[in-house]
Structure 1
Amino acid sequence: MKTEKKEMFTFNSIPEFHRILGIAQPDHPLISVINFEDLGDLAPEVSEKAMYNFYMICMIRKFDGKIRYGQHYFDFDEGQVSFFSPGQILSSDDNAREGWILIIHPDFLRDYPLGKSIKNYGFFSYEIYEALFLSEKEETILNGVADSIVHECRTNTDQFSQNIIVSLVEVLLNYADRFYNRQFLTRKHVNHDILTKLENILADYFESEKVSELGLPTVEDIAAQLFVSPHYLSDMLRSLTGFNTQQHIQNKLIDKAKQSLAATTLSVGEIAYQLGFSHPQSFNRFFKSKTDLSPLAYRRSFN
């Protein structure tokens, strides 16, 4: 017997989300802060897989349940923040919980610089298992900003309200950026393991025939081998070394090019093809942009 495939629910508006949750309508139709303690049993549209077309920032404490993201379920303990951009698919298997969720429709930010710059906050592209773990002090700070957003939505509806709320959202995002940087630094032993594995992956790649056959490895391929998301990997590397993943790949390419120029008699064209360049001129431009020397000038410096 053929079973009918159930269509995935899509949330396009915050009032609709409130209605499905069975809670009071938001004070503003384009932004809302929901306390998890106010929620009862979740409706099927929320507990099952659904798409959310707005930004969501979830601060979760003592979450007695699991959230599904993609093909994986994840448990939460205390003081963790996750960030979701519009179009992401989530489902929740929940029981008792504490915390809050800030929901922002893209239209709320559209006429502000943050409407474009919010895409520069890489943590909206992190996987859910790359959540931000908060100290007690950090948690208090984010809770305070969220409370200020709630207060502004409820009590001060005037020509200044949206400007102030958008500013508060940006303050929250900047604090999250700072706290993630702290997390990268305080987890150095874990992150240095990732850095070592990255160096080994790149070394093996450039010593093989892959680079001439396939060209440079992509950031996505490297991140997949390290079991982290591309944005998380780049942000973590930038925090530790000052270089993102793409720059690490390019630095390794330059090291390999220098080695070939200094230690072999291969022509510049042959080295270019070995390193995956279709045209020697492209290799020349790339090498000079990174070293301020042409490949031939670099080789002559060793003679």
Structure 2
Amino acid sequence: MEDKSNIIHCETPQAFNRIIGIRTYHPLISVIDFSQIAEYRHPQGWKQDYYVIALCRGNLSCDVKYGRNKYDYSDGTLVFTSPGQTVEFQEYGEPFCPAEDNWAIMVHPDFIRGTSLGRDIGNYIFFSYEIHEALHLSEDEIEQVLDIFKHIRQELEKQIDEYTPEIVCSYIGTLLSYCRRFYDRQFKMRHSENMDIVSHFEKLLRDYFLTNALVQNGLPTVKYFADRMSLSPDYLTAILQRETGMNTRKHIQNRIIETAKDKLALDSHSISQIAYELGFEYPQYFTRLFKQQTGMTPAEYRQRKS
């Protein structure tokens, strides 16, 4: 189905297969070798109601926009999208001529529902990463990924039976576990770039608490900082967790508590007024957080400092 903006909405992998002209072995899951399909022209974009794991490599021309960013694939890259997300193509109307070894797995949530993969897939946060936060693979890693893609395709091309979902979900789970390992390797290799992100975040966080932003906008959110850094919230959190041992929310909470301590020690304002100055809508929320983080109420902390 195509909307007025020429974004094609595919509800199932089977619907996508019909558009690109390949055979469907199971309506809720598909493994595609793009070098084997007929040439077609880029739509403005795809909106898909299923998970996609796509391997892009070689001389593939696939300049895509996802969220706020675009990415030009020229190397071995894995991209993950989750149901309801939209990928737009900068080369709208141009021929899509995929190179060899460009593959995709497309799996509908109903296929994995009730399985261990269905229960665990929300833990693979890279499905919510931005396109420019994709996973870049070594040649050995590409071969591991391709091997799993091909095993899944072989299983689907056999007679579909009651064992098929269990076997296929096991392969997909193994693939995602490898991807988690590969992302860990990528984060380690990008330590210097990651520390630049940490420094940028810390400056934004510091500036937020030094300006009137607290009074005007209330307490900052993870999304607030991720948006200003052109990162997805989960990717920002993953970097901060790896490089500092604390996630984004913990960094924000620590800044709130340190600012609160300064105000409690130096200001004569009431605790309720300090809570409002810190962006809390209700003073009791401030008191609860402060005690959770310090083991004392704001009043007890102030009394100890007096």
User: Scaled by the length of structure 2, what TM-score is found?
Assistant: 0.89
Match of residue 76 from structure 1: 73
Match of residue 103 from structure 1: 106
Matched residue type, 1:69: K
Query: Which residue of 38, 45, 52 maps to 1:49?
Result: 45
Equivalent-residue separation in structure 1 for 2:70 and 2:305 (angstroms) = 56
Residues 212 and 48 of structure 1, relative CA distance in 2, 3 Å threshold: closer
User: Scaled by the length of structure 1, what TM-score is found?
Assistant: 0.89
Matched residue type, 1:151: Q
Residues 156 and 22 of structure 1, relative CA distance in 2, 3 Å threshold: closer
Match of residue 147 from structure 1: 150
The answer to whether the 8 A contact 2:219-2:280 is kept is no
SS in 2 for 1:251: helix
Match of residue 10 from structure 1: 9
Matched residue type, 1:52: Q
Residues 80 and 260 of structure 1, relative CA distance in 2, 3 Å threshold: same
Residues 218 and 63 of structure 1, relative CA distance in 2, 3 Å threshold: farther
Equivalent-residue separation in structure 1 for 2:281 and 2:29 (angstroms) = 50
Query: 1:219, CA displacement in angstroms?
Result: 1.6
Match of residue 19 from structure 2: 20
1:185-214 Cα shifts (integer Å, max 9, x gaps): 221111111111111111111011211232
Equivalent-residue separation in structure 1 for 2:291 and 2:86 (angstroms) = 44
- Which range moves more in the overlay, 7-16 or 118-127? 7-16
Check if 1:284 corresponds to 2:280.
no
CA RMSD of aligned residues (A): 2.2
Equivalent-residue separation in structure 2 for 1:57 and 1:269 (angstroms) = 50
Matched residue type, 2:245: G
Equivalent-residue separation in structure 2 for 1:6 and 1:300 (angstroms) = 62
Equivalent-residue separation in structure 1 for 2:17 and 2:221 (angstroms) = 41
Matched residue type, 2:18: R
Residues 72 and 283 of structure 1, relative CA distance in 2, 3 Å threshold: closer
Matched ranges for 1:80-99 at <5 A:
80-92=77-89, 93=91, 94-98=96-100, 99=102
Query: 1:239, CA displacement in angstroms?
Result: 2.1
- Which range moves more in the overlay, 148-157 or 133-142? 148-157
Match of residue 118 from structure 1: 121
Matched residue type, 1:33: V
The answer to whether the 8 A contact 1:66-1:73 is kept is no
Check if 1:248 corresponds to 2:251.
yes
Matched ranges for 1:219-230 at <5 A:
219-230=222-233
| Percent of pairs with identical residues | 38
Match of residue 30 from structure 1: 28
Query: Which residue of 261, 266, 270 maps to 1:263?
Result: 266
1:172-195 Cα shifts (integer Å, max 9, x gaps): 112212221221222111111111
Equivalent-residue separation in structure 2 for 1:301 and 1:185 (angstroms) = 43
1:13-34 Cα shifts (integer Å, max 9, x gaps): 22232222122x1322221211
Q: How many residues align?
A: 297
Unaligned runs of 5+ in 1: none
